[in-house]
């Protein structure tokens, strides 16, 4: 080991002991993010069908092995056997130990895969990686996807990206995920899609690509055109707002997408003096009680 050892921690995990050294070394000074060439900026879309899709194209898609799903049957069997044993007995302790070892095995598989994936992405021609700042806590409220989301562990992947980027002298930027799956990356037309729709078909520019690839290109666009926070958006409380389509949706770039709402809602909005843009539904959800459909309107 090279460097000055500042701290040593002894850790016990199941029956294994580890020595963890905290070493002080000279860090690599990253290039100013504003001076990075655009062709070295990558947009990254996270998902469950494809764990990662980069904006480069079809050769930059990475499947997720679903480690928890692989071992789920073994876990269920051990838990069932454990429930039949008397609490505190020798057999219950043995089964509990086997169950803990299995959970540890799944955790290590996940961490090993993510560490190798982060190294692969950042060691390519990438100086800036742009990610969505996902609200995992809110996503877990969907009980149909909660188990898969926990298995994917988007939060730990983002943390690994930040640490690896600091080590290599590169940048990780976070953007607002709002609208990154609903706009067309080519013409910035509002193209609403359900979660089940996996293809992006733009009626304006006639482009047809994967939904995830379209999102990755939009995320990269935000990273290039937006004004990133000084901390890259990686801290819990950003010093500046994250780059977002909420502020970039305008007539010149997004075609002035409007929301088609009922008459009484339009009257209420006129009273408030609000412009009905696609992002207003997020800021003022209490004004809308009927289904909202995005349409294209001319404000001239």
| Whether the Cβ atoms of residue 45 and residue 219 lie closer than 8 Å to each other | yes
| Whether the Cβ atoms of residue 172 and residue 234 lie closer than 8 Å to each other | yes
Average pLDDT for the chain:
79
Q: Average the pLDDT over each of 20-29, 190-199, 286-295 and give the range with the smallest value.
A: 286-295
| Separation in Å, CA 139 to CA 147, 166, 174 | 11, 28, 17
Residue 297 confidence (pLDDT): 44
Read off the pLDDT of residues 85-139 as tens digits, 9 standing for 90 and up.
999 899 999 999 999 999 999 999 999 999 999 999 998 788 999 999 998 888 8
Confidence of residue 52 (pLDDT cuts 50, 70, 90): very high
In this predicted structure, the answer to whether residue 224 has a pLDDT above a threshold of 80 is yes
Q: Average the pLDDT over each of 30-34, 175-179, 263-267 and give the range with the smallest value.
A: 263-267
Residue 154 confidence (pLDDT): 93
Read off the pLDDT of residues 163-198 as tens digits, 9 standing for 90 and up.
999 888 899 999 989 889 889 988 888 888 888 888
> What are the structural domain ranges in the chain?
4-27+38-255, 256-300
Confidence of residue 239 (pLDDT cuts 50, 70, 90): low
146 Cβ contact list (under 8 Å, min separation 6): 140
- SS3 assignment, position 294: strand
Confidence of residue 274 (pLDDT cuts 50, 70, 90): very low
Top pLDDT among 231 and 11 is at 11
State how far the Cα of 200 lies from the Cα of 167, in Å rounded to an integer: 36
Residue 190 confidence (pLDDT): 86
In this predicted structure, the answer to whether residue 260 has a pLDDT above a threshold of 80 is no
Average of per-residue pLDDT across 130-155: 90
3-state helix, strand, coil in the chain (%, to 5): 40, 20, 40
Top pLDDT among 299 and 14 is at 14
Residue 214 confidence (pLDDT): 92
Top pLDDT among 88 and 234 is at 88
- SS3 assignment, position 83: helix
State how far the Cα of 255 lies from the Cα of 298, in Å rounded to an integer: 8
| Separation in Å, CA 5 to CA 8, 17, 90, 169 | 8, 19, 42, 22
């Amino acid at each position: 080991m090279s460097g000055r050892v500042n701290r040593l921690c002894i850790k016990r995990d199941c029956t294994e002991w580890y020595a963890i050294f905290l070493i002080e070394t000279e860090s690599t000074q990253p290039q100013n993010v504003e001076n990075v060439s655009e062709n070295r900026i990558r947009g990254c879309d996270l998902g469950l069908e494809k764990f990662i899709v980069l904006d480069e194209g079809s050769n930059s898609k990475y499947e997720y092995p679903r480690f928890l799903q692989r071992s789920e049957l073994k876990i269920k069997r051990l838990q069932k056997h454990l429930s039949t044993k008397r609490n505190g007995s020798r057999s219950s302790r043995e089964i509990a130990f086997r169950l803990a070892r299995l959970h540890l095995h799944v955790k290590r598989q996940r961490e090993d895969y993510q560490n190798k994936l982060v190294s692969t992405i950042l060691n390519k021609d990438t100086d800036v990686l742009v990610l969505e700042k996902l609200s995992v806590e809110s996503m877990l409220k969907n009980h149909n996807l909660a188990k898969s989301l926990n298995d994917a562990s988007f939060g730990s992947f983002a943390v690994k990206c930040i640490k690896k980027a600091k080590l290599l002298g590169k940048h990780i930027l976070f953007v607002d995920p709002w609208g990154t799956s609903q706009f067309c990356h080519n013409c910035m037309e509002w193209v609403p899609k359900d979660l089940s729709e996996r293809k992006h078909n733009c009626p304006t520019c006639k482009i047809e690509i994967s939904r995830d690839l379209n999102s990755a290109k939009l995320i990269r666009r935000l990273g290039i055109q937006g004004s990133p926070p000084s901390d890259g958006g990686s801290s819990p409380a950003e010093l500046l707002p994250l780059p977002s389509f909420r502020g970039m949706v305008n007539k010149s770039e997004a075609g002035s997408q409007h929301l088609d709402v009922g008459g009484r809602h339009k009257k209420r909005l006129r009273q408030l003096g609000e412009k009905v843009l696609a992002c207003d539904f997020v800021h003022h959800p209490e004004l809308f009680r009927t289904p909202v459909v995005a349409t294209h309107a001319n404000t001239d």
